[in-house]
Each structure stands twice: as structure tokens, then as C-alpha cells.
């Protein structure tokens, strides 16, 4: 660990690179955890819930950011869904 900081003192141009890589790794980890716990279509155990897409609420947006989007049910899909239930 001490050798790492000595290297950074000698090669100061590596400091921004380490900062950007650390920021990207933190962002990727945070996004993965967010999607794992908040999105119903992300699963870890398939035997417990083999069809997670059945629990998706179509009126709730599944995207991270949604701008000016309104959901309207598809009549044909609703008819098929009512026949299969």
C-alpha cells in the first residue's frame, strides 16, 4: 500500500485515471444494486419465481428515466390476458 502512494507521488498523471476508474466502478456497483432490489424483472433465484415478468406492473415505468411517456393498455393484449387467467 505504501508503494502505491509512492508511485502516485512520482507519477502524478495517474491520479485522474485512478479517480475516473474508481468513479466508474462505484457507479456500476451502485446501478447493479439498485436494479437488483428495485426492478421486478431482475431475479437471482429462478426456482422461486420462474416467470418474473408476470409481476411487472404495466402502469409503472421500468426505465431508469422516463420523460413525457404515458402508458395506455393494448386492447388485444388485455383480451388475451383475460382469456388465459
pLDDT of residue 10: 92
Region 66-74: mean pLDDT is 74
Contacts of 18 by beta carbon, 8 Å cutoff, 6+ apart: 8
Q: What is the pTM of this model?
A: 0.53
Q: Where are the domains of the chain?
A: 2-84
pLDDT, one tens digit per residue, over 16-65 is: 999 999 999 999 999 999 888 887 777 777 777 667 677 777 777 677 77
The yes-or-no verdict on residue 70 having pLDDT over 80 is: no
Q: Is 76 a residue whose pLDDT tops 80?
A: yes
Helices 2-10 & 14-38, crossing angle to 10 degrees?
A: 130
CA distance 84 to 60: 22
Name which residue leads in pLDDT, 75 or 41: 75
Amino acid at each position: 500500500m505504501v508503494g502505491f502512494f509512492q508511485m502516485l507521488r512520482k507519477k502524478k498523471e495517474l491520479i485522474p485515471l485512478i479517480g475516473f476508474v474508481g468513479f466508474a466502478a462505484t457507479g456500476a456497483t451502485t446501478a447493479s444494486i439498485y436494479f437488483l432490489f428495485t426492478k421486478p424483472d431482475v431475479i437471482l433465484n429462478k426456482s422461486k419465481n420462474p416467470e418474473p415478468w408476470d409481476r411487472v406492473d404495466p402502469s409503472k415505468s421500468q426505465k431508469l428515466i422516463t420523460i413525457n411517456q404515458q402508458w395506455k393498455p393494448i386492447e388485444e393484449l388485455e383480451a388475451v390476458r383475460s382469456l388465459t387467467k
